[in-house]
Amino acid sequence: MKRLLYEAPVDDFLSPEAKERILGAQNRKYQKAKQEVGSTSLGELISYLPNLEYQHRSKLLSLAKALFFSRFPKIKERVDNGTVTLNVNFSTGVSPRTTKQTISPQFIEKAKEVDPLFDERVKARNFINATTQGSAWAEGFNLYKDVEQQLNQLDPQLVDKYKKFETAATVYYNDNLDMLEQMAQRASGRVAYTDIVPDQNNPGSWIINVEAPNFPLMMHELYKAGRYFNSLLYLPKDKDVNNTLTKVTDIHKHEIRNMITGREISSKLRFLWGELIDDYETWMDSAIQTQFNKLANDNPKLFNEIMYDGVLSGKPVAMDKFEKFSQMIVNTIKKNPPKMEKVDYNKLIQSEKEPQSYEDEDEEEDDLSWLDDDMDDFNVDDEDEN
């Protein structure tokens, strides 16, 4: 009987060939980072940055929120209409996790009885979570580049330290993987976090809590929050199956391993879109990923074929489906482009006031529903064999 991988890192779902390629890419980044980082350690930067940033914290917080909303405008709409509460703070004393992350095997068996696709959902959800973690590293740690000019106005040291931070993190996470996984499993020793929980006082609404001791980690956690929140939009309608799925897959103990592997997967997805998809632009990533999240919920078997067999293993039939689905999404975005919101980052650092409001545009349909009509036209046979 094939072992079903519950509470497993995404690595354990990969074929040996895909795992070998990803490990090779990870190692190249690691070796390059070791050469670049020199004597600077992640611990030193975590200790040093709060002091360097201290007098600029309110302005850095304004920049962080503005960058986050620029990547996740739909979440900003929810904040504005009161269906999402966003709490973001600098903190060097992060509280321990309080969410219980264990589940009885009986609940898993019950979910499998109710939903014959539950095993496929577990596999798909693990892929989504890995790319959530990985994109938060690949994109979140680098969001400072969008405001380098403003950061230099605050303090010329900031950009240099932020660049070194990601490099030092690459070395630290790889050198201490097992220890960090054990700490995550015990819910101890965390210096930054993202928690997304239902708002008990406002049914149907959510609370996003983000704390971090410095700007790079804050952007990492905020980007992770945006991607994770979007992944919650498309989950099984059956409440028990939904809860069991997220309790099985959305766990902390493998987040470091998923972040390292997910970084490579996220980079490969962006590379493939850039190489294969006409009219693709990087700002479309969130919309594309959200539609793949929808596919994972509607047809997890097809999602797994596209991602595991296609993107990660390069099988021609699955890659053809990946290309067709991605192209259809981009074509739809081009026909119905979202209103792009703009913010003047310079104004955010000229005063201690709250972030400037975004330019009001015509309202968009919520949750990318403006894509749904064209999505309904997408039809590939997920029973094809390579």
Q: How far apart are CA 225 and CA 376, in angstroms?
A: 28
Q: Indicate the range of 33-42, 112-121, 176-185 predicted with least confidence.
A: 176-185
In the chain, the largest separation of any two C-alpha atoms, in whole Å, equals 64
Whether 1 shows a pLDDT value over 60: the answer reads: no
Q: Indicate the range of 9-23, 74-88, 370-384 predicted with least confidence.
A: 370-384
Domain ranges in the chain are 14-337
Residue-level pLDDT at 73: 82
Report pLDDT digits (tens) over 294-303.
999 999 999 9
pLDDT-derived band at 96, boundaries 50, 70, 90: low
pLDDT-derived band at 228, boundaries 50, 70, 90: very high
pLDDT-derived band at 380, boundaries 50, 70, 90: very low
**Whole-number mean pLDDT of the chain?**
83
Q: How far apart are CA 292 and CA 300, in angstroms?
A: 10
User: Position 136: which residue type?
Assistant: A
pTM score of the predicted model:
0.83
Question: On the CB side of 52, how many CA atoms lie within 13 Å of its CA?
Answer: 21
pLDDT-derived band at 373, boundaries 50, 70, 90: very low
Whether 100 shows a pLDDT value over 60: the answer reads: no
